[in-house]
Structure 1
């Protein structure tokens, strides 16, 4: 058994990922796996004795973009991290409920951590490429963490495909051996998207991927999300209501009131949530009256 150190982007602490077997990509890597449906059932989460989520249930349909919206502190990012077991990296964290990937609970003992991380990728709020590592090596870095073996030809194809899907290939194809840290902030975020896509996930989680970017870079990342819709299931946390309306087909409004744990007030088709919400709190939030 091999252990690979993995940085925790939330706490800065290091954890370990156990790899008990090795996945092998097929020779033809262009045709990726189909997007998967993800379903949370009665998800609750704690940090120590502090409960931050209570009984959250949500279906995130295959091949669609689901936006998680709501004011700061309502548990959106915590919920997102439970969807691929990133929540476990925090020592005091506890979890209750189920997260079903195509009907299988990823918290079942039969699921290894690498199974969840390989099938359910994640892109974080702040671009986090390995700065001294080349653009090329950044894209394939996730293959080592998931124990995926590819030969050089397959790797070359995978790098081009992943960068193309992330909307970055034309900008960097002539400088693949230059450091990823030399890219602009928006390019670095798309490089992180390419790195996540390289391990062939069926679901991609995004935690405020544009919050640190300028408007032009934000537009490019949004275009990338729209291009990926249909190819992979996307769940995105955003505080930008216009962004949620632009990129998502489904939307869930989270809220934590008067010290209570966060939960979903309303969810459904994005157009309905924004234009004809059923709860007055949803109407007030999307209209900018609070949050």
Structure 2
């Protein structure tokens, strides 16, 4: 699949967090609660740099909770608690000395439902993260960054002649790619995606998958998906989550995607990827 490249000659803005190279992400013995209800039990997973890791499993097994833990969104819920570590290139993002904003600059998030700022222009949507973080840039730098990020998100050719139109006027698939461009503008090292194609038509889904493929050498990607064919198409490795009979979610098995689908070690994995439950 051909990789789209930007035509901008403007020097890129520096990463807000300093280093903009893809980072490895590692969860060590992560457990999570909502009040007294334990939803994850000692989950450990390495998500290598420059790879796409797919989190698969039935609804209610903790995949989205785990994803939100990876950039400290879990703690926004008042009743939430967690234990364990999340290491970004070996440094725990939950260390007391690390600011939440620093973690979220380096670990971006794309949600299930596209959430562009509807009254804000396409151009200003891309730059929203810079404004929120007080990053100053010249007009030329802003123009170059908008073109670069929209190109990387596979949207530039479709919107380059209407950058001042509202982001909310785009189609659902275009809005999702706009949200990806907005995330890329702050130079994340990891991009988390929570079922980014679940509300999209097949054509838009294919374009998002192509975008994931093109970005994977530049940004480490972790994606939650219920679509087994999508997991096979886009990911390098998979982790199968399961919560059985009211027990907390855990990882039954993880490994290279090909092996997970053709020769899983656990019968529960085989049953799930072959559609026998879930």
TM bucket (normalised to shorter chain) is over 0.9
In the TM superposition, what is the alpha-carbon distance from 1:30 to its structure 2 partner?
7.1
Q: Which has the higher strand share?
A: 1
Alignment of 1:176-191 (within 5 A): 176-191=163-178
8 Å CA contact 1:163–1:194 kept in 2: the answer is yes
1:204 aligns with: 191
Which SS does the other structure have where 2:205 is aligned?
A: helix
- Partner residue in 2 for 1:287: 274
Residues 13 and 141, structure 2, Cα contact 8 Å, conserved in 1: no
2:31 match: secondary structure: strand
Shift of 1:146: 3.0
Instruction: State TM-score, norm by structure 2.
Output: 0.93
- Judge conservation of contact 2:29–2:42 (CA < 8 Å) in 1: yes
1:272 corresponds to: 259
What RMSD in Å do the two structures reach over aligned CA positions?
Answer: 1.2
Structure 2, unmatched stretches of 5+, are 1-9
What is the match of residue 21 of structure 2?
34
State which of 240, 264, 271 in structure 2 corresponds to 1:253. Answer: 240
For 1:101 and 1:110, the matched residues in 2 are separated by 14
Distance 1:59 1:282 in 2: 19
User: Is 1:135–1:178's contact at 8 Å kept on the other side of the alignment?
Assistant: yes
Count of residues paired in the alignment: 265
Bigger relative contact order, structure 1 or 2, given CA contacts below 8 A and separation 6+? 2
**Distance across 1 between alignment mates of 2:173 and 2:73:** 24
Unaligned runs of at least 5 residues, structure 1: 1-26
Q: Tell me, what secondary structure is at the counterpart of 2:42? A: strand
Q: For residues 149 and 30 of structure 1, do their structure 2 counterparts lie closer, same or farther at Cα, with a shift above 3 Å needed? A: closer
1:256, 1:262 within 8 Å by CA — same for their partners in 2?
Answer: yes
CA contact (8 A) 1:38 1:60 kept: yes
Counterpart position of 1:110: 97
Mapped partners of 1:34, 1:181: distance in 2: 31
SS in 1 for 2:157: helix
Tell me the TM-score normalized by structure 1. 0.89
Q: How does 1:202-241 map to 2 (within 5 A)?
A: 202-241=189-228
